[in-house]
Amino acid sequence: MSYQEFLAEKEKIDYLIQQGYFIKNVRENLSGAFVEFELKRSDSSGKKDSTQVLHIQNADARKYFSSLLIRQMKQVL
């Protein structure tokens, strides 16, 4: 995996975070990590919550989302 692949996966993660998604679930296996993001809709428009799943293969990108997950958990507590 190259640095360019890391940047591509990081951009996908950052985009979802900027859109208001948070990390809901992580499943890891030998081919990488499947990170489930969820967008909670707080308005009364009747729209359902939205989920997105990213397949993160790059080790540095996995470290990156792990740091985001730790930060997210600290905000909740």
Task: Print the domain residue range for 33.
Answer: 3-41+49-76
Mean per-residue pLDDT, 23-51: 87
The count of domains in the chain is 1
pLDDT of residue 76: 79
Mean per-residue pLDDT, 19-26: 96
Quickly state the pLDDT bin for 74 (edges 50, 70, 90).
very high
**Segment 46-58, tens digit of pLDDT:** 667 899 999 999 9
Phi-psi region of 20 (alpha: psi -120 to 50; beta: other; left: phi over 0): left
**Taking all residues of the chain, what is their mean pLDDT, rounded to a whole number?**
92
Q: Which of 77, 61, 63, 71 is nearest to 10 (CA)?
A: 61
Q: pTM value?
A: 0.86
| pLDDT above 90 (res 1) | no
Q: Are 54 and 64 in contact (CB under 8 A)?
A: no
